[in-house]
Amino acid sequence: MPHEDPRRAGGFTARGRRGVVSVQHAVDALQRGSPTSISAVEMCYADAMELREVAKDVHACLTPDRGLGWSNSGLINRGGGMVIDTFWDLPHTRALLDCYARVTPDRPRRLVNTHHNGDHCWGNQLLADAEIIGHRLCAEAFGKDVQPAVMEALRTAPASDDAGLASFAAALADWDFSGIELTPPTTLIDERLDLDLDGIAAHLIYVGPAHTQGDVIVHLPEQKVVFTGDILFRLCTPIGWEGTFARWIAALDQIVALAPDVVVPGHGPLCGVEGPREMKAYLEYVRAEARTFFDADLPALEAAGRIDLGPYADWTEPERIVFSVERAYREFRGEPHDAPIDLMRILAGMAELREAREA
């Protein structure tokens, strides 16, 4: 199984770039009110997605890393079909399901959500007939987290003078959060759920609170495949919410210990165990650096700007380090792992870091 870096291997990058152009054309058409624009948008999204059979009857749908929300999904085409994660909005999820319809015309009977962040489950309603499975805390978080209407308002708000808000709105330009009805899991996992999908064993294992409260990975032991959800960001800088560094690192260790041949990350290209190993090293490095600055009484944002990114400077959106430093400081202050993060302050800090880097 090739574990390519798409920026170096060439093929996927070229596909991705074509996708960027065609999506922009489609969005322009949509804004002009062309009657065919919706389907044009969905066709272009499908063009940007890459369907890969990573083992017999096991597929990954990979999206190019264009920033916030461009996530990956999976389909196990056995036992009535099981999808792993939907996408952030309805047009992208329709395009995802069109990709899967090329594998099988039958609607999948099951859907697993690896966690509650919208880029993994806001398309759930398009599989509302399926049994939707997730961790209990993932399901609970659906009602508590930011709602689609709020995101749509942020996305479409008039240009803001606030640099953080303005760059966040710009990052949402590819999405359309209208019409989303949150559809949470109803089959709930506490520790694990073992399924037999007509001969394919699928182990759904709780590993949170790491990236979020309700993180679940999907392990196919015979196929040696793990779908990690956002426990793994590959070649892109991770963002974490309610979990702890220790649990996240333990979850990455657990993935390595499963000895998969193919790891399907929540974001970024396919990899092997080098993916979780490198991300563990990143988390350990950022936590240690943050500790030094915390002990010197530097504010988190200033620390984030002072940390030398070394080999991780190549990962996309390196300014997301602000999230990790904020989380580290939260832990150093002895606060609970689900203490709310001040998103507006983080967004402003990220915009500042990005500007400083580009200057």
Rounded least distance, CB 105 to Zn ion, Å: 29
Q: Between 133 and 162, how does the x/- string for binding to Zn ion read (CB under 5 A)?
A: ------------------------------
Rounded least distance, CB 87 to Zn ion, Å: 10
Identify which of residues 71 and 213 has a Cβ nearer to Zn ion in the complex.
Answer: 71
Contacts 24+ apart (CB under 8 A), 322-325: 322/346, 322/349, 322/350, 322/353, 323/238, 323/239, 323/240, 324/238, 324/240, 324/283, 324/286, 324/287, 324/290, 325/286, 325/290, 325/293, 325/300, 325/301
Question: Which of the ranges 12-20, 113-121, 213-221, 346-354 carries the binding residues for Zn ion, by CB under 5 A?
Answer: 113-121
Rounded least distance, CB 75 to Zn ion, Å: 18
Q: Which of 271, 356, 212 is nearest to 1 (CA)?
A: 271
Calculate the alpha carbon distances from 204 to 250, 253, 302 in Å: 16, 16, 39
Identify which of residues 71 and 73 has a Cβ nearer to Zn ion in the complex.
Answer: 71
Rounded least distance, CB 211 to Zn ion, Å: 8
- Count of CB atoms situated within 10 Å of the CB of 56: 10
Rounded least distance, CB 71 to Zn ion, Å: 5
Q: Which residue has the tokens 């800090």?
A: 349
Rounded least distance, CB 258 to Zn ion, Å: 21
CB 92 within 8 A of CB 38: no
Confirm or reject binding of residue 85 to Zn ion (CB under 5 A).
no
Distance, C-alpha 173 to centroid of its chain: 17
Identify which of residues 214 and 266 has a Cβ nearer to Zn ion in the complex.
Answer: 266
Question: Which of the ranges 41-49, 105-113, 116-124, 289-297 carries the binding residues for Zn ion, by CB under 5 A?
Answer: 116-124
Residues between 174 and 233 with contacts to Zn ion, criterion CB under 5 A:
230
- Which of 65, 85, 89, 119 contacts Zn ion by CB under 5 A? 119
In angstroms, the CA 301 to CA 292 distance is 14
- Count of CB atoms situated within 10 Å of the CB of 271: 25
Length of the chain: 359
Rounded least distance, CB 267 to Zn ion, Å: 6
CB 122 within 8 A of CB 142: no
In angstroms, the CA 204 to CA 173 distance is 33
Identify which of residues 93 and 117 has a Cβ nearer to Zn ion in the complex.
Answer: 117
Identify which of residues 22 and 147 has a Cβ nearer to Zn ion in the complex.
Answer: 147
By CB under 5 A, how many residues form the interface with Zn ion?
A: 5
Residues between 58 and 77 with contacts to Zn ion, criterion CB under 5 A:
71
Identify which of residues 213 and 223 has a Cβ nearer to Zn ion in the complex.
Answer: 213
Identify which of residues 16 and 229 has a Cβ nearer to Zn ion in the complex.
Answer: 229
Which residues form the interface with Zn ion (CB under 5 A)?
71, 117, 119, 230, 266
